[in-house]
A = this chain, B = another copy of it.
Amino acid sequence: MNYSQTTLTMKSSMIRELVAITKGVPGMISFAGGFPNPVTFPRESLSEEYRLAVDEDGADTLQYGASEGDEQLKRELLKLENEPGLTPNEILVTAGATHAIYMYTRTFVDPGDVVLSESPSFLGSLVAIEAAGAEVLGVDSDNEGIIPARLGERLEECHRLNKRVKFLYVIPEFQNPTGITTSEARRLEIIAVAREYGIGILEDNPYGQLRYFGTGIPSFRTLAREKYNDRHTVTLVKSFSKILGPGIRMGYMISDERTISHCCSWMQKTTVTVDCVSQRAVARFIAAGKLEPQITRIRDYYRPQLQAMLDALQKFMPANVSWTRPEGGMFLWMEVPEKINTDEVFVKARELKVAYLPGSKFYPSGSEHYNTMRLNFSYPTVEQIWIGVERLAGLITQAIQEVSNGQSR
């Protein structure tokens, strides 16, 4: 009785494992995880909606629900999205964003097909895409997002190798891990390339609501619709993980009716429905007008943390170190001189009680850059951010000196 080849060869994201070894260390300041701060969870107001979702709506919510999603929740989501002409049949409630990504990939990918992604990207999504049968290839990105010329080159290269590319996976807002937001010009260029080559765009936007500075940019989906009247190329995935809490497995996808219908078949085969109690509790939470104040509260809470991290980096980091300056989200991305391997610094940092995630864990295999790191600012307090960044700066300064002294392995 042997396990399947897919099971035996599939990758772990390594992120959980690395985060795990930074936990439970007394005095540890961690920039490693991707956790929302539990202070932001709307416990009291949400608990009341859960109670009502079972006590008042129990005949409905405890019964088998529609795989398409709870009608009341979909009604609220349609209002939230406010996309002209969007119908309930173009939206599917999912058990979080990963579930949406998995089902979308299964809907499109035959074994051997290729999915393109930003490089670096969120490895948790990439391993789900791979587990669903695709080969993931990275496309180089810069501070404005994926470089359209590189995207074209990748597509040509795949064409020459007879590999079918099915879609491009992007996290356009406050990307995980880089914090970068793809510019509007880039979005339009990327849409044009995708349409030219007939590939889809899977737009994963879990952080879009977490904007602390600056103004928003229209989604890929909006731009494709407004410029080309195209509601098919871009599938938008959103999640409540960063707004209500990731313990509630709840997200949704918006696409054309046929794609949603196919993804819904995958829903029936993977989990039948999303938890109906949680769906209704979230629907009630939104209907009660509790969502907007909650988003405001989170923004106000995280804004000083991001500011503190930017200020602390500015103050403590040595020359030759650069970092992104996101206007929202939960992460920023740092580059240290090329000879420094942040996988190695990670071990020393742990001893010094400061943690981050080595950037190498966020690249499709074979294209790792070892002189990068992801820093999370949503979980630690402002005070911890100042202390932690100072510790980290000390370590990196030391590593730079070792490299220039030729002592580095």
Q: What residues make up the interface of A, taking CB atoms closer than 8 Å to B?
A: 1-7, 10, 12-13, 16, 35-36, 38, 41, 43-44, 46-48, 50-55, 58-65, 67, 95-96, 98-99, 102, 106-111, 113, 124, 127-128, 131-133, 166-167, 198-200, 232-233, 244-250, 259, 262, 265-266, 268-278, 281
Closest 8 A/B residue pairs (Cβ): A62-B245, A247-B276, A43-B58, A47-B55, A47-B54, A131-B269, A51-B51, A38-B59
| B95 in contact with A245 (CB, 8 Å) | no
Taking the closest CB of chain B, its distance from the CB of A291, in whole angstroms, is 15
- The residues of B that contact A58 with a CB separation of less than 8 Å are 38, 41, 43, 46-47, 245
Contact between B276 and A248, CB atoms less than 8 A apart: yes
Q: Given the known A-B contacts A107-B4, A265-B12, are A270 and B62 also in contact in the complex, defined by CB atoms under 8 Å?
A: no
Copies of this chain: 2
Q: Chain B residues with Cβ under 8 A from A4's Cβ?
A: 106-110, 113, 133
- A62, A166, A247, A250: residue with the most chain B Cβ atoms closer than 10 Å: A247
Q: Contact between A277 and B265 (Cβ–Cβ < 8 Å)?
A: no
CA A366 – CA B67 in complex, angstroms?
28
Shortest Cβ distance from A351 into chain B, in angstroms?
26
Residues in B with CB closer than 8 Å to A276 are 247-249
- Known contacts A35-B64, A132-B269, A249-B271, then 17 further A-B pairs from the complex at CB < 8 Å, ordered by chain A residue: A4-B106, A4-B108, A4-B113, A12-B265, A12-B268, A43-B62, A46-B58, A46-B62, A47-B58, A50-B277, A50-B281, A60-B247, A99-B270, A102-B269, A102-B270, A246-B272, A247-B277
B55 to A41, Cβ gap below 8 A?
no
Contact of A273 among B108, B167, B249, B265 (CB under 8 A): B249
Residues of B within 8 A of A54 (CB): 43, 46-47, 50
A58 CA / B45 CA spacing, docked (Å): 11
Contact A269 B10 (CB under 8 A): yes
Q: Given A269-B127, A271-B98, are A199 and B63 neighbors across the interface (CB < 8 Å)?
A: no
Whether A10 and B265, one on each chain, are in contact in the complex, defined by CB atoms closer than 8 angstroms, is yes
Closest to A275 in B: B275
Q: In whole angstroms, how far apart are the Cα atoms of A63 and B41 in the complex?
A: 9
Q: How far is the CB of A8 from chain B (nearest CB, A)?
A: 8
Instruction: Tell whether A248 pairs with B275 under 8 Å between CB atoms, given A55-B47, A200-B1.
Output: yes
Contact at B96–A272, with CB atoms within 8 Å?
yes
Between A and B, 9 residue pairs with Cβ closer than 8 Å are A2-B166, A12-B268, A43-B59, A44-B55, A50-B51, A65-B247, A95-B95, A124-B268, A124-B272
Which residues in B have their C-beta under 8 angstroms from that of A64?
35, 246-247
With a cutoff of 8 Å between Cβ atoms, the chain B residues found around residue A50 in the complex are 47, 50-51, 53-54, 277, 281
Q: When chains A and B are docked, how far (Å) is the Cα of A44 from the Cα of B95?
A: 25
What residues of B have a CB within 8 angstroms of the CB of A63 in the complex? 35-36, 38, 41, 245-247
Q: In the complex, which residues of chain B have a beta carbon less than 8 angstroms from the beta carbon of A133? A: 4
Q: Decide yes or no: A198 and B3 within 8 Å by CB, A58-B43, A63-B35, A249-B275 being known contacts.
A: no
